[in-house]
Amino acid sequence: MSHAGPEPERPSTRDAHVPSPRGSGQGHEGTERLPAPQTGRWGSQNLPRLASAILFGLLCVVGFGLMVNGLLGAVLVFPGQSVLSALMIAVVGALAFWLLRRVRPVTPPSKVFSLLALIWGMTAAVGLALVANGNLSAVWNTVGGLPFGSAWGAALTAPINEELLKVAGIVLIAVMAPRVVRGPMDGFVIGALVGLGFQVVEDFTYSLNVIAMQGGVDGIVAVVQTFILRVVLTGLGSHWAMTAVAGTAVGLVAAASWRPDQRRALWAALLLLIAVGVHWFFDTPLLGDLFGAIAKTLVVFVTAMVVYFVVRHAYRARVRRALAEEGDELGLRRSSAVALASRHGRRRELRKVPQPERPAAAERQDRMVAMAEDRASEYRVPIAPGRPE
């Protein structure tokens, strides 16, 4: 999984045009010449990006409509319970949103695309999954019989439909904004945010379903029970974790400009299969009691954490190397340059700068880190042989 090799397969950019080294000392000299980082171009890629954005928006609108159509009746009949459920889930959702953006090392992901990822999960993925799940579940019931379909339908339906529909949003974001999904780390975080969006709406839907399953007699109890089960007990290993793993697969392929070599393609396929597999395990009727649910949650969570730490380790190593190269080019002390790879390190370096100069120094830091992340995304990304770049 780790692709942070000691030497880049693609030529390093360290000999490119950079400001001449100047005197070192404060950890920021020379960086004032740094240009603004590349913010993406709309050249020949204009059309697919535009088409991606249109498809993204269209499917979000369609999904939202399908979701409202499925939920509005229950919301109107149980308004108080709906508001309570929405508030409880929203508080946890907001905290999770902050946390999942925070887990990206070096810098947080784009706010705009973080929100778009969340919105995709909340609208397009959920709405389209309602339709797809309904039909595929009916197919299992018909083909396998009602006992089989009722027992195994969820496990044979949701992992396929939901994971693929969530992944579709990550791919669309990666196409419309290539800088947002430059590699596995970005894929993990954007995937987690898509999954989080899906999860909060599914939890809300589930609370309304439980009200009906309990006969509509005490909706508040149903809402609280659902919150405890879906958020407190199993929230740690739910959609955000599954889609983070699937998003890592997208990041791997996107990092190779959608033309991965065989090894990378295999890793991506394996990660997608793992995401589908842990989702299947979560939905399977095996280990159907409460302790089973908690055990399944831990399996999903640990799987996501293993992927996260492997990807994080590789990404941080690349960024540190890129910063070291930049530091060499700009005449910075290597330790000062590499320290910029972490939020804590950047704060520490800033404290060395006189107070009046800190805003400008912080801006220089941001630009240097942005360029290091650009450079880091270039290391070891083999393109499938025989294909023109």
Partner 1 sequence: MVEESGGLRHARPGGPRSGWIPLGIVAAVVVILVFGWMALNAVLPDTTPVAAGRSVTVASDAGYDAKLTFEEGWELHQGSSTEGSRYQFSKGPVVMLLSVVTPPERVSETELWDGMRNLVRVGDSSASLTDPQPVTSEAGAEGLAGTLHSNQTTGTAALFPSPNGVFAVETTATSSAGESDLVDVEKLLQSLRFDRTEGGS
Stretch that binds partner 1, among 16-24, 92-100, 274-282, 357-365 (CB under 8 A): 16-24
Torsion angles phi and psi, residue 91, rounded to 5: -60, -50
Does the protein bind partner 1 through residue 189 (CB under 8 A)?
A: no
**Under rule CB under 8 A, residue 171 binds partner 1:** yes
Helices (H), 177-289: 184-213, 219-227, 239-254, 262-283
Q: Give the H/E segment covering residue 167.
A: helix 146-176
Secondary structure class of 375 (helix, strand, coil): helix
| From candidates 4, 34, 88, 193, binder to partner 1 by CB under 8 A | 34
Contacts of 84 (CB under 8 A, 6+ apart): 220, 223
Indicate whether 286 belongs to the interface with partner 1 (CB under 8 A): no
The residue range among 9-17, 21-29, 195-203, 344-352 that interacts with partner 1, by the rule CB under 8 A, is 9-17
CB of 350 to partner 1, least distance (A): 23
Binding residues for partner 1, total number by CB under 8 A = 81
- The piece of 109-117, 248-256, 280-288, 314-322 that touches partner 1 (CB under 8 A) is 248-256
Per-residue tokens: 132: 């797809």
- CA 272, CA 100: separation in Å to the nearest integer? 20
- Options 189-197, 199-207, 254-262, 302-310: segment touching partner 1 (CB under 8 A): 254-262
Q: Which of residues 196-215 bind partner 1 (CB under 8 A)?
A: 212-215
Q: Which lies closer to partner 1 via its Cβ, residue 96 or residue 319? A: 319
Residues in 94-153 at the binding interface with partner 1, rule: CB under 8 A? 128, 131-132, 135-139, 141-143, 145-147, 149-151, 153
Retrieve residue 208's tokens. Answer: 């309304």
CB 354 within 8 A of CB 21: no
Tokens 């959702």 belong to which residue?
Answer: 93
Q: Smallest gap, in angstroms, from Cβ of residue 124 to partner 1?
A: 9
174 near partner 1, rule: CB under 8 A: yes
Q: Does 43 bind partner 1 (CB under 8 A)?
A: yes
What are the backbone angles phi and psi of residue 57, rounded to the nearest 5°?
Answer: -65, -40
Nearer to partner 1, 152 or 281 (CB): 152
Of the pair 30, 105, the CB lying nearest partner 1 is at: 30
Q: Which two tokens stand for residue 46?
A: 């204009």
Please tell me the distance from the alpha carbon of residue 173 to that of residue 354, in angstroms, as a whole number.
40
Site for partner 1 contains 193 (CB under 8 A)? no
Q: Which is nearer to partner 1, 44 or 355 (CB)?
A: 44
Which residues pair with residue 367 across a beta bridge?
A: none
Query: Tokens in use for 115?
Result: 């929100």
Does 223 sit near partner 1 (CB under 8 A)?
Answer: no
Start-end of H helices in 284-378: 290-330, 334-339, 343-351, 358-376
Beta bridge partners of 383: 260
Instruction: State which residue, 215 or 354, has the beta carbon closest to partner 1.
Output: 215
Binding mask 297-336 for partner 1 (x = CB under 8 A): ----------------------------------------
C-beta of 317: minimal distance to partner 1 in Å?
Answer: 18
Q: Is 123 helix (H, G, I), strand (E, B) or coil?
A: helix
* Nearest-10 Cα torsion for 279, 311, 254, 280: -10
Q: Which stretch binds partner 1 (CB under 8 A): 74-82, 272-280, 310-318, 341-349?
A: 74-82
Contacting residue, 257, 262, 292, 309, with partner 1 by CB under 8 A: 257
